[in-house]
Amino acid sequence: MLAELGIVTTGLALIGAALAALFGAYGALNRADRWILSARNSLLLTMPLLSLACLSLVTAQLTGRFEMQYVWSVTQINEPIFFKITALWGAQPGSLLFWSWMLSAFVAIAILINWRSERRLMPWMVTFSAAVLTFFMILVVLYENPFARFWILPGASQPVASVFQPAPEASLFFPRDGQGLNPLLRHFGMVFHPPMLYGGYVGMTIPFAFAMAALASGQLNTNWIRATRRWTLIAWLFLSAGLILGGRWAYDVLGWGGYWGWDPVENAALLPWLTGTAFLHSIMIQERRGMLKAWNMFLIILTFLLVILGTFSTRSGIVASVHSFARSEIGMPMLIFLGICAVGCLGLWAWRWSRGELASDHRLEGLLSRESMFILNNWLFIGVTVMVLWGTYAPLFTELLSGQAITLGAEYYNAVVVPLFGAIYVLMGIAPLVAWKRTSLSALGKAIRVPLALTVGTVLILVALGTHEPGAFLSYGMICLAGYTALWEYYRGVKARMARGESILVALNRLFARNRSRYGGYFIHLAVVVIGIGIVASTVYQQETQQTLSVGQAISLGNMSMRYDDAFEAVADDGRTMVIANVSVFRNGQYVGTIRPRKDFFGERGTPMSIAGQYTTLESDFYVLLINHQGDRITFKVYLNPLVNLVWWGGVLLIIGTFLAAYPDPQRELAEKVAEARAPSSLQIAGD
Amino acid sequence: MSDSRPRRPLIVPFFIAVPVLIVIGLGIALLQGNQGQLSSGAAPTFRLKLYDGGTFDLSEQRGKVVLINFWASWCGPCRSEAAELNAIWDTFRGQDFAMIGVGYLDNERDARAFLAEFGVEYPTGHDDGSQIARAYRIRGVPETFIINRRGEIAHVIIAPTTVSVLRPLIEALLAQEVQP
């Protein structure tokens, strides 16, 4: 029954999405309101349908309906309930369904919020988002159906998986137990990391659909940006949180003492984040000065194409990665979709551009201006994007062209990407102090005096305290400049308000209320500064050692040391066996606690997985891995990662900052709407 | 970003041509990679220059059971199976058994660090140009092939493996008589 419910609801959702795309396009081209309304309602209906489909799949996972191939492949009778639920995104078919459900939900919310306010964009917005959903539903229904069941044909030795009864005499096959969730995914970081990333990917579809609606309808004023700024921020937030959680998962589970490995799949998530960050910055110029219209359009299309490219490379298995999905049949349809999107969207964009409809309202007035700083910011982010893109796909393309695959490892990224990020930090330190339109070097010099002096002071103190690597104190300097500038901007804003008699808290509150995107943005800058400090310290000053110990022996690393006390074996609820070591941790010779690094062995094949024991302080992470055990001798690998926790805490700050920037501002929005109602043809008026 | 000037039609095709070329390239790569996994029949022979200087020639191993492990220093699961593979080498090294680690898309420094870190003693070398990986049509790393005494692929193990999986497979193959 659950399988049938899923088959019917996903089938109907596919039909609903396809009809919405067709009706929407017809209605928008012919200005036929009834068709547009039908398209809207049909698209809204996909959300409850897909919710039902997800619910029936989760119910099947919880109740152990192993005749369903997907349930069999990702759950097991004795698995904790929690993992039985999260198995929804534990493998390809379920995660595609979950992805489609998220898309339908995001689209439904966007339609309900913007239907009245963006009347002229909505027909095409519905059409484009319905087209994207149709494509993903085709994958779910025709290629990777999570509701396929096992059937036994008379005379056959093996059951076959099929959505429908393959022959009248075929009967359902009920396996006694399933295979269980991939051990690597049984971690809280992995539980939330995929939904976050999908939220980011899917969320980028909304601004993309609005941008395409603007291109298709010719409503090329800045309305589409106003409608999508918050969506872009939300999608960006999801992507950021997904990246940070993914890093945390790698740190805890993959057992190599690091959190970022320039793995193709990590890069796939980083790429749209980079272009999305560039977009969030450059739309500020369009909102304020009516410039970079064509560029912003290109950036959001590029972001969407990178989302599809990332999904394609993760799910088709085309690039070798530590955590890609198994190679599957959906590679070719995804690539065709990517090709259609690239040609269609960029073609439409180029057509509008060549007709001069995306021309700027203003020209760049001064070489040293806030506008030029934003443009530089965009070039830097695009530079990082191109470099990461090349690093990710270089093996593929060099092999195609020369028959010899060239792989680019961490050295490449350190040499190419790190300097670009350094330049971005420097820009973060300068750009907020540069005025709009034009400014002079002496004005900038005056504005930057205090942050620069603080930075130089900090670097000198660090050098005096023993930071001697030029790479380290240069990096700290660039990062600190960005941080001090953000703090200085807060200080100046608050001071100006306090001069009018406001108390410090009131002043800070009103500062945010007056310009959320600016001061929320500075908060995000501060978070990025904290993350940067964590990354530099934990990369430059990481220490590691590996030794084989008998009971009672110890390893020292920096000011920390560990003593191997004893080890035991245990069996967990879900049947995995664990080897657990008790390790005492000492800091400056003082006992501070006991940690338990362990090694788990999953299933009949005993797939091993190392779970680190960590002793965490704000100052450093003492990270102990159980590598191997023979008798009572154990090989430990120990890392001392200084300030690594700043990466996670910076992530939390970044989330808070994004909320501050995205928090709705009803008064201002009302004012904008009133202004727009008074000037209905803002397209002409906006020109000089 | 060039829209601060009136029009630049020449750059428009560039913005479209680059993504389209990328898509076409990916398509070719996808089609090339879509042939199925090699899982039976004669094992493709190869010669591999080893990190410690010598050369490993698969055709010279006829009559022995051979374990071929594709690995890379950047591959997380390869780390988890390293100790297991060392144990297999220690168990069978005196018998009619050969073992070769084929480095996939790696650079020498990281690879050597990996070998030193795990104390790998069996022969290993880098598969320059991924020739061997392509001949065996691997889908990723780690992958392990076990070749029987007649030079045929007997088992393929995708994903990290363990002593408990490998030992019985190798013992059974060693027990088979060599056909003259």
Tens of pLDDT, residue by residue over A232-246, are 999 999 999 999 888
Residue pair A602/A609 in contact by the 8 Å Cβ criterion? yes
**What's the pLDDT tens digit per position in A37-49?**
999 999 999 999 9
The answer to whether A369 contacts chain B (CB < 8 Å) is no
Burial class (CB in 10 A: 0-12, 13-18, 19+), A133: buried
A90 confidence band (pLDDT: 50, 70, 90) = confident
- Check if A636 contacts B (Cβ < 8 Å): no
Specify the pLDDT at position A564: 92
Give the closest-approach CA distance of B129 to chain A in angstroms: 4
Q: Is A48 exposed, middle or buried (0-12, 13-18, 19+ CB in 10 A)?
A: middle
72-91 in chain B: CB under 8 A from chain A: 72, 74-77, 79-81, 83-84
Please give the pLDDT value at position A34. 94
Q: The tokens of A573 are what?
A: 């609820």
Q: Do the beta carbons of residue A111 and residue A128 sit within 8 Å?
A: no
Residue among A234, A307, A45, A17 at smallest CA distance from A136: A17
- A160-182: average pLDDT: 84
Q: In whole angstroms, what is the distance from residue B70 CA to residue B78 CA?
A: 9
**CB of A254 less than 8 A from some CB of B:** yes
Instruction: Report the pLDDT value the prediction gives residue A666, as an integer from 0 to 100.
Output: 64
Q: What is the pLDDT of residue A598?
A: 87
- Kindly state which CATH superfamily the domain B47-175 is placed in: Glutaredoxin (3.40.30.10)
pLDDT digits (tens, 9 = 90+) for B61-83: 888 999 999 998 877 778 888 88
Going B115 to B118 to B120 to B124, the CA torsion angle's sign is: negative
In chain B, residues with a C-beta closer than 8 Å to the C-beta of A438 are: none
Per the CB < 8 A criterion, the answer to whether A409 and B107 are in contact is: yes
Q: Which residues pair with A590 in a beta bridge?
A: A587
Average pLDDT over residues A375-398: 89
User: CB of B73 within 8 A of CB of B110?
Assistant: yes
* Coil, helix or strand at residue B42: strand
pLDDT at A292: 85
Burial call A509-525: b when 16+ CB within 10 Å, e when fewer: eebbeeebbbbbbbbbb
Query: Which of A75-79, A452-456, A506-510, B128-132 has the least mean pLDDT?
Result: B128-132
Beta-carbon separation of A350 and B19 below 8 A: no
The CB density around residue A461, as the number of other CB atoms within 10 Å, is: 10
Taking phi over 0 as left and psi of -120 to 50 as alpha, with beta for the rest, B41 belongs to: left
CB of A285 within 8 A of CB of A377?
no
pLDDT over threshold 80, residue A685: no
CA A326 to CA A73: how far, in whole Å? 13
A320: three-class secondary structure by DSSP: coil
What pLDDT does A606 receive? Answer: 62
Contacts of A324 in chain B (CB under 8 A): 140
Q: Is the confidence at residue A676, as pLDDT, over 60?
A: no
**What is the C-alpha to C-alpha distance for residues A328 and A314, in angstroms, rounded to an integer?**
10
ipTM for the whole complex: 0.71
**Residues of B with Cβ-Cβ distance to A379 under 8 angstroms:** 1
The answer to whether B42 contacts chain A (CB < 8 Å) is no
User: Looking at residue A398, what is its pLDDT?
Assistant: 79
Summarize pLDDT for B104-152 with one digit per residue, the tens: 877 777 888 889 888 899 999 988 767 788 778 776 778 899 999 888 8
So where are chain B's domains? 2-33, 47-175
Contact yes or no for A573/A84 (Cβ under 8 A): no
Distance CA A328, CA B158 (A): 15
Pairing relation of β-strands A620-630 and B55-57? unpaired
- pLDDT at position B159 over 80: no
Summarised one tens digit per residue, pLDDT across range A100-155 is 999 999 999 999 998 888 888 999 999 999 999 999 999 999 998 999 999 888 87
Name the closest residue on chain A to residue B105, using Cα atoms: A407
Between A14 and A160, residue with greater pLDDT: A14
Binned at pLDDT 50, 70 and 90, residue B3 comes out as very low
Residues 93-112, chain B, touching A (beta carbon < 8 A): 104-107, 110
Of residues A342, A405, A411, nearest to B20 (C-beta): A342
Could you tell me if A233 and A203 are in contact, meaning their C-beta atoms sit under 8 angstroms apart? no
Q: Do B76 and A318 touch (CB under 8 A)?
A: no
What's the gap between Cα B37 and its chain centre? 12
What's the CA gap between B144 and B142, in Å, rounded? Answer: 7
- CB-CB under 8 Å, A403 with B129: yes
Q: With pLDDT > 90 as the criterion, what percentage of chain A qualifies?
A: 38
pLDDT band at residue A680 using 50, 70 and 90 as cut-offs: very low
Q: Quickly tell me which residue has 């029949």 as its tokens.
A: B41
Reported as a single tens digit per residue, the pLDDT across A542-572 is: 888 888 888 889 999 888 999 999 888 888 7
A364 touches chain B (CB under 8 A): yes
User: If pLDDT is split at 50, 70 and 90, which confidence band does A189 have?
Assistant: low
Q: How far apart are CA A75 and CA A176, in angstroms?
A: 12
